[in-house]
Amino acid sequence: MPKPDAGWSDAQLLEEFHRTGERGLLGTLLERYTLLLYGVGLKYLKDEEEARDAVQQVFLKALTELEKYRVEYPKSWLYAIMRNHCLMRLRARGTPTVGLEESMAPSEDEGGGTAEKLSEEARYLQLEEALGMLSQEQRRCITLFYLERKSYQEVCRATGFGFGEVKSHIQNGRRNLRIILQRKSREA
């Protein structure tokens, strides 16, 4: 692969990192989400210095974790780590965190209803968890086709699968996702 640039997807950066072990690739990835994490930190912690410190702590944790584990969706994974880190900090200083999620959700004037945003985030997290339950082949094909908006031919090239295999993995993966999500909704 050529030298990484802003055009590389998160998946490409992570794939190349796992292949080469080059930590600079993780730096490139994490740099993309600095402002997002800082904003989350500010919203929870209400202090600029503490939010900057939290971003650094999360980056250190992410560097360690990404060396050990493969993460499919780094943006939502980093967001969850930051949110949990902030909640732990608030608990450590004795700030009640019960119901804090609702108060931290975007307000109406920030682009949507609170309940709608929470529901959307919950669905997204459920989908991410369900994707993790698929076979590696199905997960890869579904991710490339639906999330990265690749054509069947592009998925074939990226995976090395034939057209029929890609079509089968996508159809079976979609069916399995529906089954997993229905089962989870009945359990809730």
Residue 171 falls within a domain, yes or no?
yes
Q: 111 pLDDT exceeds 80?
A: no
| Least confident range of 114-128, 145-159, 160-174 | 114-128
Q: Say whether both 32 and 124 belong to one domain.
A: no
Output the six-digit token pair for 41: 């930190």
The confidence score (pLDDT) of residue 188 equals 61
The confidence score (pLDDT) of residue 113 equals 47
Q: Assign 21 a pLDDT band (cuts: 50, 70, 90).
A: confident
Q: Say whether both 90 and 142 belong to one domain.
A: no
Residue 73 falls within a domain, yes or no?
yes
Q: 108 pLDDT exceeds 50?
A: no
Residue 150 falls within a domain, yes or no?
yes
Query: How many CB atoms lie under 10 A from the CB of residue 95?
Result: 13
| Domain count for the chain | 2
* The last residue of a domain, from among 97, 126, 149: 97
Q: Say whether both 91 and 131 belong to one domain.
A: no
Q: For the chain, what percent of residues have pLDDT higher than 90?
A: 19
| Least confident range of 58-67, 100-109, 164-173 | 100-109
CA R_g for the chain: 19
Give residue-wise pLDDT tens across range 40-85.
888 889 888 999 999 999 999 888 888 888 888 888 888 888 988 9
Q: 144 pLDDT exceeds 90?
A: no
Residue 106 falls within a domain, yes or no?
no
Q: How far apart are the first and last CA of the chain?
A: 44
The CATH number linked to 68 is 1.10.1740.10
Q: Give the domain range for residue 53.
A: 1-97
Highest mean pLDDT among 102-106, 118-122, 160-164: 160-164
What is residue 156's three-state secondary structure? helix
Q: 19 pLDDT exceeds 50?
A: yes
Quick check: 74 and 33 in contact, CB under 8 A? yes
Q: 24 pLDDT exceeds 90?
A: no
The confidence score (pLDDT) of residue 129 equals 78
What is the rounded average pLDDT of the residues 91-95?
81
